[in-house]
Chains A and B, each alone.
Chain A
Amino acid sequence: MTQAQKNAKTLRPPGGRGARGPMPKIKHPGKLLKRLLGYICRNYAVPCIAAVICIFISVIATVQGTWFIQKLIDSYIAPLLLQKQPDFTPLADAVLKVAAFYLTGAAAAYAQTRIMVNVTQGTLQRLRDDVFTHMEELPIRYFDTHPHGDIMSTYTNDIDALRMLISQSIPQFLMSGVTIISVFFSMLRLNIPLTALTLLMISVTVCSSKKAGSLSAKYFVAQQNDIAKLNGYIEEMINGQKVVKVFTHEAESMEQFNRLNNELFVSADNANKYGNFLGPINAQIGNISYVLCAAAGGILAINGFGGFTLGKLASFLTFNKSFGQPINQLSMQINNIVMALAASERIFALLDEAPEADDGYVTLVRTKEAPKTTHTDCPTDDSAAVLTETTERTGTWAWKHTHQADGSVDYIRLCGDVVFDDVDFGYTPEKTVLHHVDLHAAPGQKIAFVGSTGAGKTTITNLINRFYDIADGKIRYDGININKIRKNDLRRSLGIVLQDTNLFTATVMENIRYGKLDATDEEVIAAAKLANADYFIRQLPDGYRTMLSGNGANLSQGQRQLLAIARAAIADPPVLILDEATSSIDTRTEKIVQDGMDALMRGRTTFVIAHRLSTVKNSDCIVVLEQGHVIERGTHAQLIAQQGKYYQLYTGKTVANTR
C-alpha cells in the first residue's frame, strides 16, 4: 500500500458517523432538502420521475400479490373443494394474471434500482467535480482559516453520506411511505377491528423502540466521547512511542491506556446493547401482533362476522407482517436523511464560499519587437510603442493594458520592476500587521527580508502575488497597479519557492514540469541541472521516471527543495519569491541547495526571505522588519555602518560563531 493510500485511510474518522449517533441540528431542513433535490433533478429530472413511478408499480404489484392469496383461498380453492370434477382452468388463468403482475413488479424494482444507480453515481461525480472546481477557485484565506481535515472530510464523509441518501434513504423512504398507505387501506378494506388491533400493536412497538433508541443515543454520545478520548491518547502516545521507550515509560502509558480503554468498553457495551434491542423488539412485537390477529381473526372467521373469510384472514395476516417493517424503515430513514442533510449543509457551505475575486484586465501576452528598435533593456515606457502581439513563442512577454476610458491598447514590456508604495495590510480588518511599507525592486535586483518570526516577511511575499489583497497603499508591477493585472497573469510572471515544499504524486519529471506544462524532457533536465538537482535525480531508482508520493516522502528535505527550485526554474519567471530553508538540512546538502538557488536568482528580480548570511550580504537591498514595520533598509555595508538592529543581528551572530 502506498503512503498516499494510508493517508487517505487515516482521514476517515475512526468509528465514523454512526447511523445511531446523536441527531445533528440543521437550521432550515426544508430549504436544504429542496436545494439538494433541485441539484439532483437538474440533470436527472426524468430519471427521478421514472424511479418514483417504478416505486409505485412495484409496491402495487406486491399488494396485488397479497390480495391474490385471499382470492386463491376464497374464490378458487373453496369452490374447487365443492366440485366433483375440479376444473382448474380459472385458477390457471388467475395464476398467469398474477404472474404478469409480479413480473411487472420485479421489472419495476430492477428499473428503479438501476435508474437510481445512475442518478446516484452521476450526481456524486458532478458534486465531486463541482466541489473540487470551486475549491480551486477559493482564495488562500479560505485555506488558512479552515482546517484542512475539515475540507477533506467534505470529500470523504459528506459526499459519502449523500451517496447513502440518494441511493437508499430517499427511495426507501418513498417505498416505505407508499407501502404503509396501501397496506393500511388494504387492511381497512379487509377488516376494521383487526386493523385497529394492528395499529395498537404498532404503537407499542414504536414506543418501546423509541425508549430503547433514546437510551442507545444517550450511550452513543458517551461512546463517541470515549472514542475521541481514547483515539486522542493513542495518537499522542504512538506518535511519542520512541520517547516512551527512551524514558522507559511503558508501564505508565499502559496504565492510562487501560483506564480509557475500559471506559470506552462500558459505554460502547451499553450503546450497542440498547441499539441491538431495536431488532428483537421490532421483530417480536410484530410477531405478537401477528399472533393476536391470527387468533382474533380466527374467531371472527368462525362466526363469519362481517363476511370475514379464511382467505381474508390469510391476506390480512400477510399484510400485518408487511406493515411493521416499513414503519421501522421510515424512522430509520428519517434519521439517515437528517444526517445526510447535515452533510449537504457542509457541502453547500463550501460551494457558497465566494471564489477569489479578480477584476484585473491587464493581461500578459507574447510579443514581437518591431525590427527597427534597438531597445533591449528595461524599463522604458517608450519601448511599448514598438511591441506587437504575436502567437509565436518569442520568449518576450508584455503586459497588454487596455485603457478602460478610450479602449486604446498599450504594450508594456515585462521586466520585473516592483514597487511597494505605503502599503498597509492586515489578515483581519481589525489588526494591521504591515504598516507603511515602501519598497522598490528594480529589474534584476535582489531584496532580502530579515527579521524574527512574525515580523511580516512571509506576509509581504503573499501580497506580491495577491494571495492576499492590501488594505491601503499601492503595489506596482512594471508601473502597473497589480490590482489591474489579471491574477493568473500576475502569478504566471512570478516564481515561488516555499520553505515547505509541496510535491505531487507523480514522477520527478512531471513534478518539475509542473512549472511549465508544455516543457520538453530536455527542458526539464536542463532546469534540473540549473537547480543542481540533476545529480541526485539520476541516483534515484528510476531516475526522472521515479514516482513520488506522499509529498515526496521518499526524498530528503534537501532533495525536495532542489525539485522545488527546478520547478521554479523551468517556469523562468522574471520575478522570484524565495523562502530560504532554515538550518534543518545538513551543511553539505544546504550548500548544494544554495548553489541551486543562486543559479536561479541570477538575472531575476528576487524577493528572498533570508536565513543565510551570504544571501543577505549579496543583496542589493536588505529590508529589516520588526512587527510589521520596516525599521532599516540598505546594503550590508550601509546597515553595518548604521549600527542598528541589523548590526546587532549580524554581530550577535558573529560572536556566537567565532567564539
Chain B
Amino acid sequence: MLKTLGAQIREFKRDSILTPVFMSLEVLMEMLIPYLMASIIDDGVGTGNLRHICKIGALMTAAACFSLFCGIMGAKFGARAATGFARNLRSTMYQNIQTFSFSNIDKFSTAGLITRLTTDVTNLQNAWQMILRMCVRAPATLILAMCMAFLINPRLALIYLAAVLSLGIVLAVITLRAHRYFMEAFPRYDDLNASVQENISAIRVVKAYVREDYEKKKFTAASKNIYRMFLKAESILAWNNPAMQVAVYSCILALSWSGAKMIVQNTLTTGELMSLLTYCMNIMMSLMMLSMVFVMITMSIASARRVCEVINETGDIKNPAQPEQRIADGSIRFDHVTFRYNKNAQTPVLDDICFSVQSGETIGIIGGTGSSKSSLVNLICRLYDVSDGAVYVGGTDVRRFDLDLLRSEVAVVLQNNVLFSGTIYDNLRWGKSDATNEECRHVCRLACADEFIERFPDGYNTYIEQGGTNVSGGQKQRLCIARALLKKPKILILDDSTSAVDTATDAKIRRALMEEIRETTKIIIAQRIASVQDADRILVLDNGKIDGFASHDELLKTNAIYRDVYESQTKGSGDFDEGGALS
C-alpha cells in the first residue's frame, strides 16, 4: 500500500523532502531559544553584563526569525506536496478507471468509485500534509527538547524522561481504547443516518401507514444506543487533558524541588532552571500532538486502502498485441459461449450459447428479467469477455480486434443510458466528433427525436442538464439512439432502448432503421412483442439458454414461452398512457 501511494508523489518528491527538512530546522531554531535564554540570565543578568544580554538577545532574535522563515517554507512546500499528491492520486485513479472494463466498474460500483475519487483523496491529502508537517514537528520537538535538557543537566532531564514515558503510556492506552470504541460507534452512526435517509425518501409510506410513532420509537432507541457508545468513547478521551496537566505539573514541582537544591549546591544555575522549565512545556505538548496525529492518521488508513484498490486494479479487457484493424462485415457468430460475471459462480449467466447472424439481419431478443439478454449482447463489443467459447464478428474472434475499432463498429444503446451535460449537438457528437449539423439532424430524424428537439426554444443547442434531467425518459432514449446511429456502425444493438417511448413512435423508429440502414445488423432487445415481431428472427432466452430462434410466426407455433408472452400482451397489458394518440 505504501509503495503504491509513494509512487504517486512523483514531481512533488522535492517538496515532500524539503517540508520535513524545513520543519526540523524550524524546531531546531525554536529549541535553541530557551537554551540561549539561560545564558542571558546567568552570564548577563547574573554578572550585570549588558553587552552580553544584547549579544545573546540579537542571536535569539536571529534564531526566531530564521525559525519563522523555515516555518513559512515548510508551510509552503507542505501545501504543495500534499495538494500535488492529491492531484496525482486523482489523476492516476481516473486514468486507471478509463481502462476498467464493465466488470471492473461493477466490482467497485459507481458510488464507490466516486467516493474514492473525492472524499478518500481529500482524507489522504490531509493525512499526507499532517505526516510531512506535524509528524515531523512533534517528534522533532520531543527529541530536541529532550537533548537540550540532557545537555543542560542530565540528572534533571531524567525527570522528563520518566514523565514522558509514563505520559506516553497513559496517552497510548487512552487513545487506543477510545479509538476502539469510536470504531465501534461510527458504523452505528452511519447506520442511523442511513435509516434517516430511508425515512425521508419513504416518507409517503410512513405517513400512509401512520407509522410516525413507530419510526420515532425506532429512531430514539437507536439514537440512545449511539449516545451511550459515544459517551463511553468520549469519557475515556476526557482523561487526556488532566493526564497531560498532571505530567507537566509533576515535572515543574520535581524540577523546582531538585533544581533549588542543585542551585544551592552550585551544580545548576537559575537560568538553566528557567530554560528547563520552558522545555518541560514543549515536551509535553509535543506528546499530546503526537497522540492526536496518530488518531487522525489511523482514520485515513481506510481511505488509503480504498484508493490503492482502485490504483492497483487492472482492467481485465485489454487490446490484443497485434490487433486486427478491419471488420469485414456485420455478421455475428456465438460459438459455444459460456459466461459468468464471477469466476467462482456456480451457475453461468449464459450457458453454451450457439447461434449465428448474417450481416444486415434484424434480430429480436426476448426473455424475462434475469434471462441474460443484456449479458449476451454485451459480449459482442467486448464490454465483457466470454468465460468459455468465442464470439465472432465478421468471421473474426472479437478478442483479436482493436478495441476502439470494435466499439466504433458495434454500437450499443445501453439499457441504463445517460446523457451528459452539454448541448444536444455536443451529446450527439459523442458518436462522431466531427459530425456536421446536417448529419446530426439526419440521425435525429431516424430516431424520431427531431420532432421534440425542434419544439425546444433552442432546438439542437438546447442545454442538457447533468444526467439528462430536463428531458423525459422517452426523449432521452431517442437521443441515445441518435447518438449511436451517428457512428454508422456495422452492428447496432438496442438494449431495451425504447421502453419509455410510446408504441407508435417505437414502430416509426424501427421502420426508419429498417429502411435507412439496411446493411447494418440490428439487434433489438425488448419487453414488448410488438417491438420485435417484425424482426427477421427472434431469439428467446430463458435462464441463460436459447429456448427458441426463429421468425415470429414460427415461434408462435413452436415456442411455448413466446406464445405465453404474446398472449399476455395482446390480452390486456402494456402501457396504457403515453399512448400514441395522446402525445
Contact = CB atoms under 8 A, between A and B. Distances in A.
Nearest to A120: B234
A346 interface: no
A391 interface: no
Which one of A254, A291, A450, A657 has the highest number of Cβ atoms from chain B below 10 Å of its Cβ? A291
A496 B211 CA distance: 13
A648 B201 contact: no
Nearest to A108: B242
Interface string B180-210: 0000000100111111111111111111111
A554 to B, nearest CB: 13
A80 B264 contact: yes
Interface stretch (B38-46, B144-152, B544-552): B38-46
Contacts of A655: 504, 580
Given A276-B76, A491-B210, A648-B581, A81 B264 contact: yes
Contact of A129 (B223, B230, B264, B499): B223
B219 A261 contact: no
A272 B506 CA distance: 55
Nearest to A296: B57
B573 A268 contact: no
A236 B421 contact: yes
Contact of B261 (A4, A88, A248): A88
Given A295-B54, A505-B194, 15 more contacts: A10-B119, A11-B197, A72-B256, A106-B249, A121-B231, A133-B216, A137-B212, A241-B105, A243-B417, A250-B99, A253-B98, A284-B26, A298-B45, A451-B577, A648-B581
Interface residues of B, number: 173
Nearest to B214: A517
Contacts of B111: 6-7, 10
B78 A276 contact: yes
Contacts of B553: none
Nearest to A277: B75
Contact of A294 (B37, B83, B200, B416): B37
Given A248-B404, A450-B576, A109 B215 contact: no
A558 B570 CA distance: 20
Given A283-B30, A498-B205, A261 B82 contact: no
A33 B344 CA distance: 59
Given A125-B226, A491-B210, A587-B569, A611 B575 contact: yes
A269 B45 contact: no
Given A77-B264, A243-B414, A287-B33, A238 B117 contact: yes
Contacts of A514: 205, 209, 211
A467 B204 contact: yes
7 contacts: A88-B261, A92-B257, A122-B227, A132-B199, A245-B102, A452-B578, A657-B569
Nearest to B256: A72
A344 interface: no
Interface residues of B, dominant DSSP: helix
Contacts of B573: 587, 590-591, 594, 612-614
Contacts of A253: 98
Q: 5 closest pairs, A vs B, by CB? A: A280-B71, A614-B572, A295-B57, A652-B581, A276-B75
Contact of A136 (B50, B129, B206): B206
A65 B252 contact: yes
Given A129-B219, A254-B98, A502-B201, A273 B75 contact: yes
Contacts of B74: 276, 280
Given A122-B227, A136-B212, A246-B412, A236 B420 contact: yes
A268 B86 CA distance: 10
A76 B528 CA distance: 100
A107 B238 CA distance: 11
A551 B190 CA distance: 16
Interface string B26-67: 100010010001001100110010100110110011011101
Nearest to B74: A280
Interface stretch (A185-193, A310-318, A471-479): A310-318
Contacts of B210: 488, 491-492
A8 B41 contact: no
Interface in B213-253: 214-216, 219-220, 223-224, 226-227, 230-231, 234-235, 237-242, 245-246, 249, 252-253
Interface residues of A, number: 176
Contacts of A107: 242
A7 B109 CA distance: 12
A504 B197 CA distance: 10
Contacts of A151: 200
Interface in A406-428: none
A271 B125 CA distance: 13
B461 interface: no
Nearest to A657: B530
B18 interface: no
B75 A467 contact: no
A246 B72 CA distance: 49
Nearest to A71: B256
Contacts of A105: 245, 249
Contacts of B581: 648-649, 651-653
A657 B574 contact: yes
B270 interface: yes
A133 B214 CA distance: 11
A124 B224 CA distance: 10
A640 B403 CA distance: 55
B499 A295 contact: no
Contacts of B416: 242
B269 to A, nearest CB: 10
B130 to A, nearest CB: 11
Contacts of A114: 235, 238
B583 interface: yes
Interface stretch (A330-338, A523-531, A577-585): A577-585
B260 A72 contact: yes
A240 B418 contact: yes
Max chain B C-beta neighbours (<10 A), residue from A103, A106, A254: A106
A39 interface: no
B118 interface: yes
B418 A140 contact: no
Interface string A127-151: 0110011011100100100001001
B383 interface: yes
A653 B503 contact: yes
Chain B CB within 10 A, most for which of A230, A261, A617: A261
B80 interface: yes
Contacts of A99: 249, 253
Given A9-B119, A65-B249, A294-B60, A245 B383 contact: yes
Interface string B118-157: 1100100100010001000000000000000000000000
B467 interface: yes
A515 B214 CA distance: 12
B517 interface: no
A8 B193 contact: yes
A268 B83 CA distance: 6
B97 A611 contact: no
Nearest to B260: A77
B241 A109 contact: yes
A6 B235 contact: no
A502 B204 contact: yes
A277 B412 contact: no
Interface in B447-471: 466-467
A185 B49 CA distance: 30
A419 B199 CA distance: 31
Contacts of B216: 129, 132-133, 136
B277 A318 contact: yes
A110 interface: yes
A386 interface: no
A527 B167 CA distance: 63
A432 to B, nearest CB: 22
Nearest to A115: B238
A238 B199 CA distance: 27
Contact of A148 (B56, B200, B407, B466): B200
Interface in A6-36: 6-12, 14-16
